[in-house]
Amino acid sequence: MIGYAQDQEAEDPLGISYEIGSFTDLSLYRENCFDVALSTMALMDGPDFPAAMRAIYRVLKPGGILCFSVLHPCFITPAIKWIIEEDGSHSGLRIGRYFDRSPFVERWRFSKRPDPDDVPLFSVPRFPRTLSDYINPVSDAGFQNLRIAEPRPSDSVSSRHPWLKRWWDHAPLVLFLSAIKPC
Ligand SMILES: C[S@@+](CC[C@H](N)C(=O)[O-])C[C@H]1O[C@@H](n2cnc3c(N)ncnc32)[C@H](O)[C@@H]1O
């Protein structure tokens, strides 16, 4: 993905530089140098979330903003199952093992792509966490003004992708969190 991004930058420069590193080790960067740290659906895939919060706090400028999304820990648990009625409708979500933090490897593919059977399953490391496992390390790192959001698919997105309607009806798939490094 970084290779594609670097090629794109070479073709149509926007002044973006791409580096490869871990969100738990941002020693490549000096402290207080970024206005914003933005992460999309990645911080859930590392084993040490508190270390990531401390690393990001260090490199943000005072007043800098942290903003990230992860799979919603209350609903995407190790034992999740849709409750499906006889007519095929989804009437709810059964949640289990919310407190089970055992890491595991999920074998997965994008089932909604046009040719799902043509691609091999890929492996994703999973580190189940509770809601407090996400929120407390953010404030422990020093961030303030924590806010969370639990977005639902919009009407237009749900009508283009009907499978998303069950998420509109019953549970948030994604948790958004934002916070500020105090001045
Ligand atoms: C679910 S993918 C999301 C990718 C992309 N942000 C998106 O929304 O399509 C999770 C990403 O997190 C990356 N990742 C996992 N552990 C990481 C770490 N310690 N530091 C940086 N990235 C990491 C993985 O390589 C993977 O690309």
- CATH number for the domain including 157? 3.40.50.150
Task: Tell me whether residue 95 is in a domain.
Answer: yes
The pLDDT score that the predictor gives to residue 116 is: 77
Instruction: Identify the residue whose C-alpha is closest to ligand 1 atom 12.
Output: 42
Task: Tell me whether residue 149 is in a domain.
Answer: yes
The pLDDT score that the predictor gives to residue 163 is: 85
Residue 130, ligand 1, Cβ within 6 A: no
Task: Tell me whether residue 59 is in a domain.
Answer: yes
| Local structure of 81: helix, strand or coil | strand
Task: Tell me whether residue 118 is in a domain.
Answer: yes
Whether the CB-CB separation of 143 and 53 falls below 8 Å is answered with yes
Residue 24, ligand 1, Cβ within 6 A: yes
Task: Tell me whether residue 136 is in a domain.
Answer: yes
- Number of domains composing the chain: 1
Q: Which parts of the chain register pLDDT below 50?
A: none
* Domain membership of residue 171 as a residue range: 18-180
pTM, entire model: 0.92
Whether the CB-CB separation of 46 and 22 falls below 8 Å is answered with yes
The pLDDT score that the predictor gives to residue 80 is: 94
The pLDDT score that the predictor gives to residue 11 is: 97
In ligand 1, the atom with minimum distance to the C-alpha of 52 is: 19
The pLDDT score that the predictor gives to residue 133 is: 98
The pLDDT score that the predictor gives to residue 115 is: 84
Residue 40, ligand 1, Cβ within 6 A: yes
Alpha carbon dihedral 73, 74, 77, 81, in 10-degree steps, equals -140
The pLDDT score that the predictor gives to residue 148 is: 98
Task: Tell me whether residue 6 is in a domain.
Answer: no
Task: Tell me whether residue 152 is in a domain.
Answer: yes
Task: Tell me whether residue 5 is in a domain.
Answer: no
Which of 45, 76, 113, when mutated, tests ligand 1's pocket best, judged by the most ligand atoms within 8 Å of its CB? 45
Cβ contacts of 91-94, under 8 Å, gap ≥ 24: 92/170, 93/170, 93/171
